[in-house]
Amino acid sequence: MSDVELVARKAKEASFVLASASTLVRNNALLTMAKGLESKAGRVIEENKKDLDKGRKNGLSDALIDRLTLDRRRIIEMAQGLREVAALPDPLGEIVEGWTLPNGLIIEKVRVPLGVVGIIYEARPNVTVDTAGLCIKSGNSVVLRGSSSAMNSNRALVSIIREMLKESGLPADSAGLIDSPSREAAKELMKLNGLIDVLIPRGGAGLISTVVENSAVPVIETGLGNCHVYVDLEADLEVAQRIIINAKTQRPGVCNACETVLVHSGIAEEFLPKIAMELEEKGVEIRGCERTRKIVPGAIEATEDDWKTEYLDLILAVKVVDDLDEAIGHINKYGSKHSDAIVTDSYKNSQRFTKEVDSACVYVNASTRFTDGGQFGLGAEIGISTQKLHARGPMSVTELTSAKFVIRGSGQVRD
């Protein structure tokens, strides 16, 4: 038996214990994990430094280095996230709906765990903690496979999580780590149908497509974020400028950052010079359509690929459109169904945008940067689903459950 299969089998066994563990026990485990992270932060930072040194040596971009970095503040934030998840209502055992048939059978639809959640993810070691916390809360065990760039950080974090689980009376194998950066290990994980109940890829387009194409395990696609902000003819331009600057520059290396701005032709000549000046001051490279470049001479010519690219960097595609129809059409053609926003004072236009844009999160007069489990009041997220089956948008504890029908009778038989 390979190491990958052994981790998955142990996680499967642990999942049965977790599924029957009380709310109190699971919540206590999360609180203990939070304390353990804070008390052992120095150990994590020391291991994270090894990953950062290696990353810089290997030429990782500043955006990826930012995603990889763990300092005391971020560790405290991770611990606080665990406490917030612990405070969420327990989804397990919730009766989603129920009814009584004419023959007296009582039927209830009840929330239950998925079982074993596998996650393959890149760069960000905070995902290790968020994922483990959400899975334990929802009664699932988890098998984690991070990237080689964060291997030392992930080993330290999972080691602490397992110690704290054991201290809390739950199986340490409720959280398992695939301790190999090889592609073969990842591909083996994708084939463990029957041991892994659902697989979630969290990273760039290459990772997601690889998992979708190769997995024998059911997959929930997450993460890829080609997000748009459309500035309508009836927009408050100061509000639009504030939203775009935040959505593009606050953290450009994350999936809910804005990658394309669409501007109505009726306000383009007034708006584009102002927003371009502030973007350029913040180091943003603008890649524009022909009409954009006439108004912003410093913009680089945008290619077809620019409209569908998730830059994760200080680069922004800008296009002038003639109306709301063109904006919606562009988003639905090139977007990744993640997060898209309209800036407008028109109720009619905002309603059309929210109904017709086919994305998991659709905003009116707000930054796309809010697409996040913590920001939505969900405590944390295991990922942002961009598909339509089972879950869509930020996935928290409820999205990590399925349902079973419980039928209670008094001796009924079918005619």
- Tell me the per-residue pLDDT of 203-231, one tens digit each, with 9 for 90 and over: 877 888 899 999 999 999 887 899 999 99
pLDDT > 70: what percent of the chain? 100
What does the pLDDT read at residue 305? 97
Report the C-alpha gap between 10 and 335 in whole angstroms. Answer: 39
pLDDT band at 117 (very low <50, low <70, confident <90, very high): very high
Average pLDDT on 185-210 reads 92
pLDDT > 90: what percent of the chain? 88
Q: Please, where are the H alpha helices in 223-374?
A: 237-249, 268-281, 290-295, 324-334, 347-356
CB atoms within 10 A of CB 292: 22
What does the pLDDT read at residue 206? 85
Note the residue count of the chain. Answer: 415
CA distances, 160 to each of 51, 178, 318 (Å) = 18, 15, 45
- Tell me the per-residue pLDDT of 66-106, one tens digit each, with 9 for 90 and over: 889 999 999 999 999 899 999 999 999 999 999 999 999 99
- Tell me the per-residue pLDDT of 287-307, one tens digit each, with 9 for 90 and over: 999 999 999 999 999 999 999
- Tell me the per-residue pLDDT of 335-365, one tens digit each, with 9 for 90 and over: 999 999 999 999 999 999 999 999 999 999 9
The pair phi, psi for residue 218, each rounded to 5°, is -55, 135
CB 81 within 8 A of CB 103: no
Report the C-alpha gap between 228 and 259 in whole angstroms. Answer: 6
Mean pLDDT over all residues of the chain? 95
What does the pLDDT read at residue 195? 97
What does the pLDDT read at residue 62? 84
Average pLDDT on 265-281 reads 97
Average pLDDT on 179-195 reads 93
**Which amino acid is present at 227?**
C
What does the pLDDT read at residue 61? 84
Average pLDDT on 315-339 reads 97
**Which amino acid is present at 40?**
K
* pLDDT surpassing 80 at residue 379: no
What does the pLDDT read at residue 389? 84
Fold designation for 3-221+382-408: Aldehyde Dehydrogenase; Chain A, domain 1 (3.40.605)
Domain ranges of the chain: 3-221+382-408, 227-370
What does the pLDDT read at residue 9? 98
CATH superfamily of 227-370: Aldehyde Dehydrogenase; Chain A, domain 2 (3.40.309.10)
pLDDT band at 373 (very low <50, low <70, confident <90, very high): confident
What does the pLDDT read at residue 390? 84
Q: Tell me which residue of 403, 404, 401 sits closest to 114, measured CA to CA.
A: 401
* pLDDT surpassing 90 at residue 240: yes
Query: For the chain, how are helix, strand and coil distributed in percent, rounded to 5?
Result: 45, 20, 35
CB atoms within 10 A of CB 245: 18
Average pLDDT on 121-142 reads 93
